[in-house]
Amino acid sequence: MDDSERNNGPIGGQMPAATSFEKIETEKLSDRITREMLNGEDATLARIFLARGAIVPRHSHRSEQFSLILSGALKFKFDDSEVVLHTGEILLIPANVPHRAEALEDTVDIDFFAPRREDWISKDDAYLRGNAGKD
């Protein structure tokens, strides 16, 4: 389908919408973490860049989370376990499960959340901003 056939309306409207991450605002959350985010009515999709050593502090949210590693390696720590994801691997984190993450190398991660991340939309995600990347 060429661009003339696509509905390039706002994401989350009533009609299908096509875009690319390259057209999305890049948010610098810290010296080591940046994010590009799309939101629909019921879900959030984000591409997150984490430099080696970046820390996502322990947190939880009401959304289920799928994390897909496009490149790099990301270690997730839970209360009773940890898992390291490498390129091409996917993790499902159930809603309300506390977790933290550490980039073991420069990492590109796709995260999908349902329901959508209202805290990210309203920029009420201080756990990721400023001091993220420091333990």
In a domain? residue 51: yes
> Is 115 a domain residue?
yes
Asked if residue 89 belongs to a domain, the reply is yes
* Residue-wise pLDDT tens digits, 62-88: 999 999 999 999 999 999 999 999 999
CATH code at position 48: 2.60.120.10
DSSP-derived secondary structure letter, 115? S
Per-residue pLDDT of the chain (135 residues; tens, 9 = 90+): 444 333 333 465 667 889 999 999 999 999 999 999 999 999 999 999 999 999 999 999 999 999 999 999 999 999 999 999 999 999 999 999 999 999 999 999 999 999 999 999 999 999 998 755 444
Cβ partners under 8 Å of residue 119, min gap 6: 61, 125
Which of helix, strand or coil describes residue 66?
strand
Q: Is residue 20 part of a domain?
A: no
Domain assignment of residue 29, given as a range: 25-121
